[in-house]
């Protein structure tokens, strides 16, 4: 039984998420990947995030990323490994994180707040390594060496915490009988993110989406007309989110409630500076992050 509130784990994770999440939007990412000969944005994403596995076939990425159209993954993997070795892609990704955080934090990139946040986040991430079983995407990243510089330690720690939480979430979606596409549709039906954002960003066609909606409606996950959850669907989706929080508490037990509070306080300044650093966050996502740390 965890001694840490699941809500505390969720809030602490969300407060630091921009430290990791900026890597998918920062202009420094495309710059370093192009130097390796990778010019397709989809290839940049799938190759950089799955490079920790090594030169895997597309099916490994399809399985672990879960909610992307398999055709989009197969279009760029394993072709990416013919352009650059996974180790080189990982090195480029870390370089992009370095440049991005230096841009955001300037002279404070090696300051006491970053150092303290890195220490706390690393303690949590190292605790997560005790429970890597059944979490393949987390385990692959956990096997990578820790960076030396504090700001990159913080970035790597949040990467591990993100993938730890994500793997647990995917397991719960599967136990509810949801496919990757159906999981996206139920997310859209909560009203948190516009459906078109999720559909397009995960490369699903309008026909795919419509078929998924129809299947979920047949199983009473969705209301009869609008893209909203039915009472049944809302209860099941809420149960998934609650259990995701519960499965995510273990890492943060390493620092306890006081450490989590301190980490969120440090994050409130660091993440706002990331939002203000012109790292190309979509406005809607930037606002969500800002609301989280207020």
- Average pLDDT for residues 46-52, to the nearest whole number? 98
pLDDT value at position 31? 97
Q: Mind spelling out the 3-state secondary structure of the chain?
A: CCCCCHHHHHHHHHHHHHHHHHHHCCCHHHHHHHCCCCCCHHHHHHHHHHHHHCCCCHHHHHHHHCCCCHHHHHCCCCHHHHHCCHHHHHHHHHHHHHHHHHHHHHHHHHCHHHHHHHHHHHHHHHHHHHHCCCCHHHHHHHCCCCCCCHHHHHHHHHHHHHHHHHHHHHHHHHHCCCCHHHHHHHHHHCCCCCHHHHHHHCCCCHHHHHHHHHHHHHCCCECCCCCCECHHHHHHHHHHHHHHHHHCHHHHCCCHHHHHHHHHHHHHHHHHHHHCCCCCCCHHHHHHHHHHCC
Residue linked to tokens 């079983």: 133
The string of pLDDT tens digits covering residues 8-22 is 999 999 999 999 999
pLDDT value at position 287? 74
Distance CA 58, CA 79 (A): 9
pLDDT value at position 293? 64
Distance CA 155, CA 16 (A): 9
Q: Which of 44, 80, 79, 66 is nearest to 204 (CA)?
A: 66
Distance CA 97, CA 75 (A): 26
- Average pLDDT for residues 204-222, to the nearest whole number? 98
Q: Is the pLDDT of residue 102 over 80?
A: yes
pLDDT value at position 280? 78
Q: b/e per residue, 142-151, with b = 16+ CB within 10 A?
A: beeeebebbb
Q: For the chain, what percent of residues have pLDDT higher than 70?
A: 98
Average pLDDT of the chain? 95
In degrees and rounded to multiples of 5, residue 55 shows phi and psi of -75, 70
Q: Is the pLDDT of residue 278 over 90?
A: no
pLDDT, greater one: 3 or 237 = 237
- Tokens coding 45: 């994403």
Query: Is-above-0.85 flag for pTM?
Result: yes
Q: For the chain, what percent of residues have pLDDT higher than 90?
A: 91
pLDDT value at position 2? 59
Distance CA 241, CA 264 (A): 21
- Average pLDDT for residues 81-106, to the nearest whole number? 98
pLDDT category at 154 given cuts 50, 70, 90 is very high
Q: Is the pLDDT of residue 67 over 60?
A: yes
- Average pLDDT for residues 84-110, to the nearest whole number? 98
The string of pLDDT tens digits covering residues 108-150 is 999 999 999 999 999 999 999 999 999 999 999 999 999 999 9
Contacts of 221 (CB under 8 A, 6+ apart): 182, 186, 189, 229, 230, 232, 233, 236
């Amino acid at each position: 039984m965890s001694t840490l509130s699941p809500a505390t784990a969720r809030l602490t994770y969300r407060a630091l998420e921009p430290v990791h999440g900026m890597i998918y939007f920062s202009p420094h990412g495309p710059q370093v990947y192009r130097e390796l000969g990778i010019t397709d944005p989809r290839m940049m994403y799938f190759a950089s995030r799955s490079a920790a596995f090594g030169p895997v076939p597309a099916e490994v990425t399809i399985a672990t990323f879960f909610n992307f159209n398999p055709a989009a993954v197969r279009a760029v993997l394993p072709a990416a490994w013919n352009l650059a070795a996974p180790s080189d892609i990982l090195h480029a990704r870390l370089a992009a994180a370095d440049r991005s955080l230096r841009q955001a934090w300037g002279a404070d990139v090696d300051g006491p707040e970053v150092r303290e946040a890195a220490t706390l986040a690393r303690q949590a991430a190292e605790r997560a390594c005790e429970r890597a079983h059944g979490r393949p995407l987390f385990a692959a990243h956990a096997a990578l060496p820790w960076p030396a510089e504090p700001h990159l330690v913080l970035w790597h720690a949040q990467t591990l915490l993100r993938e730890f939480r994500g793997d647990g979430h995917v397991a719960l979606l599967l136990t509810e009988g949801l496919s990757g596409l159906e999981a996206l549709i139920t997310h859209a039906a909560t009203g948190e993110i516009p459906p078109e954002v999720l559909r397009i960003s995960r490369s699903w066609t309008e026909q795919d989406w419509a078929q998924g909606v129809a299947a979920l409606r047949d199983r009473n996950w969705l209301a009869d007309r609008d893209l909203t959850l039915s009472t049944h669907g809302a209860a099941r989706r809420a149960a998934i989110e609650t259990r995701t929080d519960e499965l995510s508490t273990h890492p943060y037990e390493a620092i306890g409630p006081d450490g989590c509070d301190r980490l969120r306080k440090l994050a409130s300044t660091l993440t706002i500076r990331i939002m203000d650093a012109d790292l190309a966050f979509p406005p809607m996502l930037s606002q969500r992050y800002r609301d989280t740390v207020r």
